[in-house]
Amino acid sequence: MGLLKAGTPLKWTDALSLIDYVKEHGIKQFIIIYNKVKDRTDKELKWGDEIEYLLLEKDTENKRIFLSLHAKQVLDVLMKEEDDYNHQLIPNAPLASWKPEYGRFMLEGTPFFPYEGCISCYLKCEESMKRRRMIAQSTVPKILENIKSPRVTNSVITMSLYPLLGATKKILLNDISTSPYSHIGDILPLSQNEENELLTFNGPISRSPYIPDIITNEHPRFGTLTRNIRLRRGKNVNILVPLFIDEHTDVNVGKRIHHLDENSTYYPNIDELIKQKKEQMMISSSATRLVTDFEHFIHMDAMAFGMGCCCMQSTLLARDIHEARNLYDQLAVLCPIMLALTAATPLARGLLAETDVRWNIVSASVDDRRDDETKHITKSRYDSISLYIGENTQAKQFSDLNVEIDEKSYKTLRESNIDEQLARHIAHYFIRDPLVIFTDCKQIDDNSESVHFENLQSTNWQTVRFKPPPGPNSSIGWRVEFRVMEVQLTDFENAAFTVFIVLLTRAILSFKLNMLMPLSEVDLNMKKAHLRDAVLNQKFKFRVCLDSDPNISMSESDLKKCTRELSIDEIMNGVNEEDKKFIGLIPLVRKYLDQMHCEVKDRIYLERYLSLVSLRASGKLQTNAAFIREFVRSHPQYKKDSVVREEIVYDLIETIEKIGSMEYTPEKLLGGLHLDDAKQI
Tens digit of each residue's pLDDT (9 = 90 or more) over 476-521: 999 999 999 999 999 999 999 999 999 999 999 999 999 999 999 9
pLDDT tens for each residue of 631-641? 999 999 999 99
pLDDT band at 186 (very low <50, low <70, confident <90, very high): low
Q: Rounded mean pLDDT of 297-324?
A: 98
CATH class of 1-51+235-549+571-656: alpha beta
Distance CA 426, CA 420 (A): 10
Q: Is 295 exposed, middle or buried (0-12, 13-18, 19+ CB in 10 A)?
A: exposed
What angle, 0 to 180 degrees and rounded to 10, lies between the N-to-C axes of helices 124-144 and 71-86? 120
Distance CA 430, CA 104 (A): 30
Contacts of 477 (CB under 8 A, 6+ apart): 37, 40, 41, 42, 317, 318, 320, 469
User: Does the pLDDT value for residue 288 go beyond 60?
Assistant: yes
Q: Please give the model's pTM, rounded to 2 decimal places.
A: 0.96
Query: Which of 255-259, 499-503, 531-535, 578-582 is predicted with the least confidence, judged by mean pLDDT?
Result: 578-582
What is residue 70's DSSP assignment? -
Q: Is 370 exposed, middle or buried (0-12, 13-18, 19+ CB in 10 A)?
A: exposed
What pLDDT, on a 0 to 100 scale, did the predictor assign at position 529?
98
Residue 431: what residue type?
A: I
Query: Which of 6-15, 294-303, 455-464, 496-505 is predicted with the least confidence, judged by mean pLDDT?
Result: 6-15
What pLDDT, on a 0 to 100 scale, did the predictor assign at position 454?
96
Distance CA 240, CA 306 (A): 11
Distance CA 101, CA 109 (A): 10
Provide the total of helices (H) and of strands (E) in the chain, helices listed first: 24, 21
Distance CA 449, CA 437 (A): 15
What is residue 297's DSSP assignment? E
How many other β-carbons are positioned within 10 Å of the β-carbon of residue 413? 25
What pLDDT, on a 0 to 100 scale, did the predictor assign at position 562?
94
Q: Are 507 and 331 in contact (CB under 8 A)?
A: no
Q: Rounded mean pLDDT of 623-629?
A: 99
What pLDDT, on a 0 to 100 scale, did the predictor assign at position 6?
63
User: Does the pLDDT value for residue 531 go beyond 70?
Assistant: yes
Instruction: Annotate 497-530 with b (16+ C-beta within 10 A) or e (fewer).
Output: bbbbbbbbbbbbbeeebbbbbbbebbbbbbbbbb
What pLDDT, on a 0 to 100 scale, did the predictor assign at position 679?
53
Q: Rounded mean pLDDT of 186-203?
A: 75
Tell which residue, 656, 665, 653, 670, has the closest CA to residue 63: 653
User: Does the pLDDT value for residue 106 go beyond 90?
Assistant: yes
Instruction: Annotate 232-253 with b (16+ C-beta within 10 A) or e (fewer).
Output: bbeebbbbbbbbbbeeebeeeb
What pLDDT, on a 0 to 100 scale, did the predictor assign at position 584?
98
User: Is the dihedral angle over the CA atoms 253, 257, 260, 262 positive or is it negative?
Assistant: negative
What pLDDT, on a 0 to 100 scale, did the predictor assign at position 98?
97
Tell which residue, 301, 348, 272, 129, has the closest CA to residue 202: 301
Tell which residue, 328, 298, 309, has the closest CA to residue 101: 309
Q: Are 228 and 204 in contact (CB under 8 A)?
A: no
Q: Rounded mean pLDDT of 532-542?
A: 98
What pLDDT, on a 0 to 100 scale, did the predictor assign at position 200?
85
pLDDT band at 681 (very low <50, low <70, confident <90, very high): very low
pLDDT tens for each residue of 26-46? 999 999 999 999 999 999 999
What pLDDT, on a 0 to 100 scale, did the predictor assign at position 182?
47
What pLDDT, on a 0 to 100 scale, did the predictor assign at position 680?
52
User: Does the pLDDT value for residue 193 go beyond 80?
Assistant: no
Distance of CA 190 to the CA centre of its chain: 30
3-state class (DSSP) for residue 483: coil
pLDDT tens for each residue of 43-90? 999 999 999 999 999 999 999 999 999 999 999 999 999 999 888 888
Q: Is 262 exposed, middle or buried (0-12, 13-18, 19+ CB in 10 A)?
A: exposed
Contacts of 441 (CB under 8 A, 6+ apart): 10, 18, 21, 22, 451, 452
Q: Are 304 and 230 in contact (CB under 8 A)?
A: no
User: Does the pLDDT value for residue 285 go beyond 90?
Assistant: no
Average pLDDT, the chain: 93
β-pair type (256-257, 106-111): unpaired
What pLDDT, on a 0 to 100 scale, did the predictor assign at position 286?
76
What pLDDT, on a 0 to 100 scale, did the predictor assign at position 179?
44
User: Does the pLDDT value for residue 271 go beyond 70?
Assistant: yes
Q: Rounded mean pLDDT of 586-610?
A: 96
pLDDT band at 151 (very low <50, low <70, confident <90, very high): confident
Tell which residue, 376, 339, 333, has the closest CA to residue 360: 339
Query: Which of 95-99, 186-190, 231-235 is predicted with the least confidence, judged by mean pLDDT?
Result: 186-190
pLDDT band at 2 (very low <50, low <70, confident <90, very high): low
Q: Rounded mean pLDDT of 132-142?
A: 92
In the chain, % of residues over pLDDT 90: 85
Phi, psi of 142 (to 5 degrees): -65, -40
